Amino acid sequence: MSISSAIIENAQTIAKIISLSNEDVARKFGINKENNPKHPSFYDENWVISDFERGEEYFLYKVNGEAVGCVAFEQSNAEIGYLNRLSVLPSYRKKGIGKKLTEYVFKYGKSKGISEISIGIIAKHSVLKNWYKKLGFTENGIKEFPHLPFDVLFMKYKL
């Protein structure tokens, strides 16, 4: 088991992990390409390449050399970093991989000198909200976006 920096050549693998890991969320919340075409369940290689080109960094979690999870980190300013697209393949869930990837981003963020990690999740996704709370995140407001079929709950973690 290892966590390593991803490179743009890993875009197809990353897209597959993200899309497969988010299919159950899309089903649970009635998300489809018509009401939310940019949902992670529809992620593709071009979106990942675009992320890299914007400066977003990806990290892969590998088991026996196979990538089974990923997370993205984006630094918006000197103080705040974003933990994005935390994804673990369904067959590898409940093994602590998501927690390890999140903790990796905490350490990485500290090394970049930021003081806060921010996330946004589906506000009604109580299981995920509670999971992040167990890791130390606190709620930081809910926002409605007209182009999304759900409200977004923002959470933060002070480093």
Q: Are 152 and 120 in contact (CB under 8 A)?
A: yes
**Displacement of CA 18 from its chain's centroid (Å):** 8
pLDDT at 104 (0 to 100): 98
Q: Are 3 and 101 in contact (CB under 8 A)?
A: yes
Tokens 């993200």 locate to 18
Q: Which residues contact 152 (CB under 8 A, 6 or more apart)?
A: 120, 121, 122, 123, 142, 143, 144, 145
All structural domains of the chain with their residue ranges: 2-114
Q: What is the mean pLDDT of the chain?
A: 97
pLDDT at 28 (0 to 100): 96
Provide mean pLDDT across the span 144-157. Answer: 96
pLDDT higher than threshold 90 for residue 1: no
Q: Are 114 and 151 in contact (CB under 8 A)?
A: no
Question: Please, what CATH class does the domain formed by 2-114 belong to?
Answer: alpha beta
Structure tokens at 1: 């088991």
Q: What is the pLDDT of residues 11-64, one digit of tens each?
A: 999 999 999 999 999 999 999 999 999 999 999 999 999 999 999 999 999 999
Q: What is the pLDDT of residues 59-116, one digit of tens each?
A: 999 999 999 999 999 998 999 999 999 999 999 999 999 999 999 999 999 999 999 9
